[in-house]
Structure 1
């Protein structure tokens, strides 16, 4: 499989329904091949739902959506044993998590109890309903969204739960020309209706195996670890990157190389994924929050560490 050409086809297909999202599509593909879940944080109407639905169609996968509200219950997510009065017996009714791509819309509007039930499913990739355990379909990807501009009636995800998301991505506004192109695309039809699959689910499973074989040289590995270690000693960071975050960092760099069709990781891959894999895992000190954003602190760290040259990066 020529992964680079396939990813290009997906980017071109997404471009037919969303403009200016090439980098977002690349990062999403990195998450998919690494079995990672995504957190999209941006204002409403920037294409988060369209992206999730389009991806499901492009990989021939099932898509389901949960609109999180304060009254949603864990059973609304995982499913229930339903008593059928006609048959006088209980029937298993799996919840919307039994899918390939799940859009968890406005996850920060759910109570911590409901949030934790979804996060457990994300980690274990199975649900237990009244003692019966069901495996989730494979592949399984959660794309969770949250609105950063509204705090009324929300329950922010604690840092320990944020750490379970492989990446946190901004969606972002289109520029003038991209938005004009969007108006033309949707003027007479909905282009989502014409999307054709690019990958099969079996292709995704193969990619999830192949990406693990992407080589990481000692030099690149040391560079990656130097970034992680620097987050644990920075004056403005209270809690640096956890070992789970380190593993996610390495796998994301492997994924970045893999979707470019390379069998080895370059320092550029490490730098490309760092803001999206690491920033949401940092906890700044009180002084740090008043002076800088997490992204600014991380940028300073990346600029302070020597980057291995191409020949040393070990093909």
Structure 2
């Protein structure tokens, strides 16, 4: 019995906690993605590049002497107007076309390539390591965990709760959900649907930028950094249900734990295919994912 307990403590506990920290990181990345799809019905292929832009803005502002606490405030404030402008100037140009799903996907994919190449030209192709804003480690369950990872998990939960409150307990969230459920009815009741679309896209982009600031100290900063999390974030969003915040959180936690624990038994190169296989299995049973759309759940 004692051997089993020691196995849980020294073998599984580190993987579970590591999976939890990765899960929070993926959820932060996926939240903006799922909110944008939930209202606009747009699959934003440039979301990973907005995440990278947040990290690069954090690096640039930190070089000017801005503290980490202020970065968490300033970067989303800078990213939100950018997201608003992208939606108004680019997305809206093709949004009302008959084949808008294909057009918006190609548009955001092209934007992702432009942004990625721009980062390489401005900052170079080499990785930029950032200093840990919170140093030291704390003993948890007989092992020492970096304080910054603990901070990431705590602030990640706070952000998830804040997003839930905004979407489900605020006037803005009520208008967003009304527009997602029936935009014509919402417009007839006085909801400014166009501004809701732009505001929601800006909100999703701001979340991506905030994620970049939070994850840069752990994963470093480089032009293609968005690709590392984007595929897993898409798996989380699709498995949880396109546009469902609850589904994103649950799927993010479950898939990251499966990925982390399975690495004990299989080669790390097989953990991503395993996650993709689980996503496919979920879609075979429930094509709509685990939960419904933003306007419905």
Asked if TM exceeds 0.5, the reply is no
Larger RCO (CA within 8 A; separation ≥ 6): 2
TM (norm. structure 2) is 0.24
Higher helix share: 2
TM (norm. structure 1) is 0.24
Higher alpha-carbon Rg: 1
